[in-house]
Amino acid sequence: MQSRSEPGFRDFDLPGVAPSRQKRSHQTTLALLRAGADMLRRRNLAELSIEALCTEVGVTVGAFYSRFESKDAYFNALMALAARDGEQRLGDIRPPSADTSLDKLCHVIVGGVIGWMRDHEGVLRAALQHDDTRPDKWTPFKALAQATTARATPLLLPAMGKGRKAAKTRAIAFGFQVVLGTLVNAILNDPGPLSLSSKEMESRLAGCLLLLLQAEAGQSTPR
């Protein structure tokens, strides 16, 4: 079965990417995208050589440029596929049962966000590193972060009890700002003590989100 981080053939309908009519051509495009995403885990975008990428895949530079208009178009395709994967994962989230605890919800949602970031770590880091000079690079992921908060809010609100909906919604938004900010810092700077790959990162961040939401849920409703 195809993993969540691997783009399917239908995903190649992207600006700057030449459509492929034959299965073999599709496979070459897929191999180039996979290899680039993997290489970006170990180097930045400026260090990603088209020649080295083609050598890794076993194709000519001409084969690369017959599929991608430029290196920029290639990276835009990597970003678009990562964003589409995130959108698909959001769409797959099903409403929890009424008795699902806030603790469990926080762990499930934070674990899903971290799983997506791990799958696309190199592409996300490259987008962040180019955010200052090319603000458009990070825009799809900013939108995805907002969509994640919007999708998670109606899942978390019922577990926070009745009343004070606006304040609780605000607390959820801030909680995700904390979670996503921590993960972005881990991807970009890896300052420690926990890295993106650490299982403890999941439990610690889910715990932070839980404490923030519990504190808000415990506030009394003004009379």
Indicate where the chain has its CATH 1.10.10.60 domain(s). 14-79
The predicted-structure confidence for 71-124, as pLDDT tens digits, reads as follows: 988 998 898 889 889 888 888 888 888 889 999 999 999 999 999 999 999 999
Per-residue DSSP letters for the chain?
---TTSPPGGGG--TTB----SHHHHHHHHHHHHHHHHHTTTS-GGG--HHHHHHHHT--HHHHHTTBSSHHHHHHHHHHHHHHHHHHHHHHPPPPPTT--HHHHHHHHHHHHHHHHHHTHHHHHHHHHTTTT-GGGTHHHHHHHHHHHHHHHHHHGGGG-SS-HHHHHHHHHHHHHHHHHHHHHHHHT--SSS-TT-HHHHHHHHHHHHHHHHHHHTSPPP-
Report the range of poorest mean pLDDT among 80-84, 153-157, 172-176, 210-214. 80-84
pLDDT at 5: 44
Q: What is the pLDDT of residues 165-195, one digit of tens each?
A: 999 999 999 999 999 999 999 999 999 999 9
Could you please state the CATH topology (level 3) that the domain comprising 14-79 is classified under.
Arc Repressor Mutant, subunit A (1.10.10)
